[in-house]
Amino acid sequence: MNRSLERQRNILDFTLASLLRRKGKNLSLLAIYIFIVFIIASVTFFTTALKREALLLLSEAPEMVVQRLSAGRHDLISHDYAEGIAAIRGVTAVTPRLWGYYFDPTTGANYTLLVPPAGTAVPGVVTVGAGVARNLGLAADDLLPLRSYRGESLLYTVEAVLSSESELIATDLVLMAAGDFQQLFNMPPGFAVDLAVSVANPRELATVAGKIVERYPDTRPILKSEILRTYDAIFDWRGGMMIVLLMAAVFSFLVFAWDKAAGLSAEERREIGILKSIGWETGDVLLLKFWEGCAVSLSAFCLGVLFAFVHVFVFSAPIFAPALKGWAVIYPAFRLTPEVSPLQLAILFFLTVVPYTVATIVPSWRAATIDPDAAMRQ
């Protein structure tokens, strides 16, 4: 037992000495390796965290949204539709909703205008998100100027700025009264943008949606599950696009691993030949190269994952945020909740550590099985 531990200790000592003798080469390879792991881990962490945040936010979304279509496009829906849908068996509530987008030509930003539940908004008074306040330099009691669809200049008093805790979903939000919303967008009374429908039994959502379409063929029911799948697809697509755009880095890693697998340098072959000539066995040489590969790959993996974690969850991924969140003038200032699953780490490990370690051992095994004199003469 003691001899085995001593043998392992000697091999580890020689491994460290061998790495230090070629520290310039190993440090450059380590830097490339860390960068590759950092890139892949950052995209993975950020995409997964955004999908998780979207799932949490959409958990409060309506079970079903009903839109009216005109010529294949989303159009205003009459309150009469709400009364008819409410009469369908299984429907517990139908709420007309007023919301829309307002483009501010002075800043190039889009604001989301929303009418909160009835009775909670005062005419002429608005509540704005933190991003709107930053973009326009607004504070409580300031005036928000907007231009209506009739060309009228309208002024609204800012009652409050929404807290930073809600910035992820409300950074571009402007809450206003229903009358102000209708005046701004020149919308006739008795109409809504869409209808939020609640159903007593969630398993009957598809059945209720079918009954709505049967009664109102010009409507389009959208289930919350469909919205969730859409968000998943969007983030998966954007994450995949980032990986494609960063294929240069991935390609560098593949070339790097192939270079290791193609063979050892003449100096490394001579070193193996000398070790064999002084009594080292093939298993000892392979164990030496295994520890060398582990030292480089595990160091790169741990440092790359650590840098990716800090980049995503501390600095909010400034490198990838515009591509993965979308392009906009107003961005929410928020930090993602740190969450890294063992499955993510396992996939990253097998994609980065295992190929390099195998690529290190294979050429070493070839060199260790030839005659020591031949190896030293190379």
The predicted structure's pLDDT at residue 321: 66
The predicted structure's pLDDT at residue 114: 94
pLDDT tens, residue by residue, 292-332? 778 888 888 999 999 999 988 888 777 766 665 555 555 55
- What sections of the chain are H helices per DSSP? 2-21, 23-58, 79-86, 130-136, 167-170, 178-184, 205-215, 224-245, 247-262, 266-277, 282-313, 321-325, 342-368, 372-377
Residue 214 in tokens:
């049967």
Please provide the average confidence, as pLDDT, over all residues in the chain: 80
State whether CATH 2.40.40.20 applies to domain 64-219.
yes
pLDDT tens, residue by residue, 67-78? 999 998 999 999
CA 218 to chain centre: 36
Q: Please report, for the chain, the start and end positions of each structural domain, with discontinuous segments joined by +.
A: 2-58+233-377, 64-219
The predicted structure's pLDDT at residue 180: 95
pLDDT tens, residue by residue, 200-244? 998 999 999 999 999 999 999 999 888 777 766 666 665 566 656
Better-scored residue on pLDDT, 373 or 214: 214
* Cα–Cα distance measured from residue 310 to residue 46, given in angstroms and rounded to the nearest whole number: 11
108 φψ region: left (φ > 0), alpha (ψ -120 to 50), beta (else):
left
CA 321 to chain centre: 8
Q: Does residue 62 contact residue 197 with C-beta atoms inside 8 Å? A: yes
**Of the segments 70-79, 291-300, 341-350, 354-363, which one has the largest average pLDDT value?**
70-79
Q: How far is CA 50 from CA 12, 53, 82, 207, in A?
A: 42, 5, 34, 31
The predicted structure's pLDDT at residue 239: 58
Residue in 167, 152, 39, 149 with CA at minimum distance from that of residue 102: 149
The predicted structure's pLDDT at residue 145: 94
The predicted structure's pLDDT at residue 276: 62
* Cα–Cα distance measured from residue 81 to residue 67, given in angstroms and rounded to the nearest whole number: 10
The predicted structure's pLDDT at residue 278: 62
The predicted structure's pLDDT at residue 51: 75
Residue 105 in tokens:
């030509």
Better-scored residue on pLDDT, 251 or 39: 39
pLDDT tens, residue by residue, 251-275? 666 666 666 545 555 666 666 666 6
* Per-residue burial over 324-333, b = 16 or more CB atoms within 10 Å of its CB, e = otherwise: bbeeeebbbe
Cα dihedral: 127, 130, 134, 137 (round 10) = 30
Mean pLDDT within 108-122: 86
In total, the chain counts a number of residues equal to 378
The predicted structure's pLDDT at residue 10: 64
Neighbouring CB atoms inside 10 A of 42's CB total: 24
The predicted structure's pLDDT at residue 237: 60
The predicted structure's pLDDT at residue 248: 61
The predicted structure's pLDDT at residue 42: 86
Residue in 134, 140, 126 with CA at minimum distance from that of residue 164: 134
Residue 356 in tokens:
């390099």
* Cα–Cα distance measured from residue 83 to residue 80, given in angstroms and rounded to the nearest whole number: 5
Going by pLDDT thresholds of 50, 70 and 90, the confidence category of residue 287 is: confident
